[in-house]
Structure 1
Amino acid sequence: MQGLFSDPALERHFTGHSGGITQLRFSPDGAQIATSSTDASVILWNLNQAARCIRFSSHSAPVNGVAWSPKGNLVASAGHDRLVKIWEPKMRGASGEFVAHSKPVRSVDFDSTGQLMLTASDDKSVKLWRVARRQFVTSFAQQTNWVRSAKFSPNGELVATACDDKSVRVYDVDSGECVRTFPEERSAPRQLAWHPWGNMLAVALGCNRIKIFDVAGSQLLQLYVVHSAPVNDVAFHPSGHFLLSGSDDRTIRILDLLEGRPIYTLTGHTDAVNAVAFSKDGDKFATGGTDRQLLVWQSNLHTYDASQFDTKSALASSGCDTSAASSKQSLASGTSKSNDLSIRIDPRQSLAYQQSEENFQVLDSKHANQEKLHTMDSKTNSPSRPFF
């Protein structure tokens, strides 16, 4: 019989923030990770062992979100100080900022071309901007409460929003019209992610659930109850076959979407897991939490074989208890299965975990050129000048 597939494994363990990590993103080339934090900073972690990390500390309040441009030449951050900052990810790179909203900004996202940017805020609005001209384009404003997240679809034609009014809305970028609404009775969505094919949305909910919707068909495809506390973030593997989630219950789950079941339960964080993300090639994923830890993992999902899962799960359960968390998965048809057979991975005894790189040198960025920019009114024809 061929060898069993490889499990995810912790590769690096970083600490450097003085506050909890709120969001993280891999750079397009996978060589760096950007993390935002309640300590009012963004850190760029270079995954090259010999390299130094860079801290950007120009926000005056917690930083709620961070995003890379598709080319990796810009990083944007969204702050509780109502500011969006755009900067070059290097020690003396140029930077700029503008007041994007009247209340804290919760998320920022670039489209696939890098020419457009979305911001979401506690002022109940989502705004679309032209990056080069730092120019306001339009608002998506049907929400009636705080907007936690706004994301472009992979092709940039749609925008999805997660709002505290217990709704997920999908807008057409060209027309500005709301074309889909997915209401939630139990609790508000905390985060969302587009499937790589652009036809599905995964939603992390405060009621401990994860839902996957068919956007075109306006229907619920899958429902997972695999966490025992609110789910804070979700991310699709680039293949579209797996979903990663992080929760207040301190665990990370990996779901096999084709089989409709959880396959891994990962521990290691000592407080809520707020942020999860895959690298562009899916070879790595990273997790960050309130405990200020950044964990970088080898996913090994390219080796996963669903036909061998039951055998591997049985072997794993014979050596450790896999029944600590319960799960339930339901399809829109109403079928369901329970019994969590996921393989539990605890990296805390590993060398990678014990050798926490808390002394990894983090240098404070000094911007060569910083200019304060202000919100452009959509009705104003003021001239704009190129930025970056």
Structure 2
Amino acid sequence: MQGLFSDPALERHFTGHSGGITQLRFGPDGNQIATSSTDSTVILWNLSQAARCIRFASHSAAVNGVAWSPKGNLVASAGHDRTVKIWEPKLRGVSGEFVAHSKAVRSVDFDSTGHLMLTASDDKSAKIWRVARRQFVSSFAQQNNWVRSAKFSPNGKLVATASDDKSVRIYDVDSGECVRTFTEERAAPRQLAWHPWGNMLAVALGCNRIKIFDVAGSQLLQLYVVHSAPVNDVAFHPSGHFLLSGSDDRTIRILDLLEGRPIYTLTGHTDAVNAVAFSRDGDKFATGGSDRQLLVWQSNLHTYDASQFEAKSALASSGCETSGVSSKQSVGSATSKSNDLSIRIDPRQSLAYQLSEENFQVLDVSIESGSDLCSCSARLDEISKLLALIDERVRRLEGIYTL
């Protein structure tokens, strides 16, 4: 396999939001990305060169989170206005609204079937909803502060929450009981990511740390200190072998979880990196920041080879330390030092970065929840005017024939 090892490379560079990007998700087919922003809008970016991008504007305040349904027919957005909007991209309008919480909604997620939706809020709760009926199902309210994030496990049987009370809680969906609690001392968790196998959980902390827990065993498996500022988001590669992270330090890190070390440091954002995500096949990943930029990258991780990485970094040592935490548990700890051996990539001189004003159109869609009624009303008005004109012409003709 020699000669096939390729580094991640910037593929596309989008600008279009007037506020910072708060969250992003790839569509199931990998051809679209949904982003939420402090500018109160959601944009669906089409990665096809000729395709049109769509901006949805129905929230009255910042949009904190976004999620695709598994089939890709729905997009949900979580707003600071206490609502969750359900969008149908093909209809280009709002198909549903949930007045979900009594305070700002921080995150939204679908289960693997797409029938259930999970929301997290500043009202200290996470809630499950039945999407088709817009029906409340259950609530998880053991947190003592804001719930920043809530995620379904891959099989939909568990829910993980991250709260400003410095806790990560695992709930059983059927019983509603809290089955695991992980507490933090340094800082509150900001974001969560389930491992594709559903047995581990990655936590982005409001200090500069990333932790990976064994959910069943209630153990800390790995600790990474690879950023110099709070970590805002984490995402597992579909293989489960790599982790992507974004931080207030403006960098993106890629971690090799099998070797327990950082392998890439990516720059390109000029402000905090708030959101990171892999496509379903892992061939691409995207990053979004407070600088309003959406960067889309070729991951090239399918070509990654640990031995070639060591040769490429020109050093044999990984720079990671493993320390015993207890007689029953050991944790790999990767530290960010001056001898950080990860490969650094800055795309700002690349052609893809410089061509920020690409030939794409952003179609604005500003339709409220009563969009169907508004549309019908507008059409009826047009029909009424047309009928009035026809009636007037008929009367004129009748007048001519009666003379």
Query: By the TM > 0.5 criterion, same fold?
Result: yes
- Identical amino acids, percent of aligned pairs: 88
> How far apart, CA to CA, are the structure 1 residues paired with 2:8 and 2:189?
28
Give the 3-state SS of the residue equivalent to 2:196 in structure 1: coil
Distance 1:340 1:259 in 2: 15
Residue 33 of structure 1 aligns to which amino acid in structure 2?
Answer: I
Q: Secondary structure at the match of 1:314?
A: coil
- Corresponding position of 2:197: 197
The 1:337/1:367 distance shift into structure 2, 3 A limit, reads: closer
8 Å CA contact 1:225–1:328 kept in 2: the answer is no
CA contact (8 A) 1:347 1:353 kept: yes
Equivalent of residue 330 in structure 2, options 311, 326, 333: 333
Normalised to the residue count of structure 2, the TM-score between the two structures is 0.87
Partners of 2:57 and 2:367 within 8 A in 1 = no
1:294 corresponds to: 294
Match for 1:301: what amino acid? L
Residue 250 of structure 1 corresponds to: 250
Deviation at 1:98, TM superposition (A): 2.1
Structure 1 residue aligned with 2:343: 343
Higher relative contact order (CA 8 A, sep 6+): 1
Is the contact made by 1:63 and 1:77 (CA closer than 8 Å) also made in structure 2?
yes
Alignment of 1:316-327 (within 5 A): none
- Gapped regions of structure 1 (runs ≥ 5): 318-325, 373-388
2:238 aligns with 238
Change (3 A) 1:335 1:78: closer
**Residues 90-169 of structure 1 aligned to structure 2 (within 5 Å):** 90=90, 92-169=92-169
Displacement of 1:361 after TM fit?
1.2
The answer to whether the 8 A contact 1:26-1:33 is kept is yes
Partners of 1:141 and 1:273 lie apart in 2 by 29
Q: Distance in 1 between matches of 2:3 and 2:202?
A: 32
Give the structure 2 partner of residue 320 of structure 1: none
State the partner residue of 1:275: 275
CA contact (8 A) 1:39 1:63 kept: yes
Alignment of 1:6-25 (within 5 A): 6-25=6-25
Alpha-carbon separation, structure 2, partners of 1:198 and 1:306: 25
The aligned counterpart of 2:181 is: 181
Distance 1:120 1:134 in 2: 16
Partner AA of 2:52 in structure 1:
R
In the alignment, the residues of structure 2 paired with residue 351 and residue 329 of structure 1 have an alpha-carbon distance, to the nearest angstrom, of: 40
Deviation at 1:357, TM superposition (A): 2.9
* Cα deviation, residue 109, structure 1: 0.3
CA distance in 2, matches of 1:236, 1:337: 17
**Structure 1 246/124 Cα, relative in aligned 2: closer, same or farther at 3 Å?**
same
Structure (1 or 2) with the larger CA radius of gyration: 2
Which amino acid letter does the alignment assign opposite residue 242 of structure 1?
F
Determine the structure 2 residue equivalent to 1:285.
285
User: Distance in 2 between the 1:328 and 1:225 partners?
Assistant: 11
What's the Cα RMSD here?
A: 2.0
Q: CA deviation at 1:149?
A: 0.2
Q: C-alpha deviations, 1:17-73, integer Å up to 9, x for none?
A: 000000000000001000000000000000000001000010000000000000000
TM-score, normalised with respect to structure 1: 0.90
| Residue 177 of structure 1, CA deviation | 0.2
The verdict on how the C-alpha distance between 1:28 and 1:335 changes in structure 2, with shifts beyond 3 A counting, is closer
How many residues matched? 364
Displacement of 1:90 in angstroms is: 2.9
Tell me, yes or no, if the aligned pair for 1:287 and 1:295 is still in contact at 8 Å.
Answer: yes
Structure 2 gap ranges (5+): 373-403
Cα deviation for residue 95 of structure 1 reads: 1.8
Structure 2 counterpart of 1:206: 206
1:52-71 matched pairs, under 5 angstroms: 52-71=52-71
Q: Could you tell me whether the CA contact under 8 Å between 1:158 and 1:173 is conserved in 2?
A: yes
Which residue identity does 2:81 align to in structure 1? Answer: D
Distance 1:92 1:231, change over 3 A: closer
Please say if residues 227 and 327 of structure 1, whose CA atoms lie closer than 8 Å, have aligned partners that are also in contact.
no
Distance 1:79 1:369, change over 3 A: closer
Q: CA deviation at 1:329?
A: 6.5
Query: What amino acid maps onto 1:182 in structure 2?
Result: F
Contact 2:224 2:334 in 1 (8 A): no
How far does the alpha carbon of each residue in 1:275-324 deviate from its partner, in whole angstroms, 9 at most, with x for none? 00000000000000000000000000000001211101129x9xxxxxxx
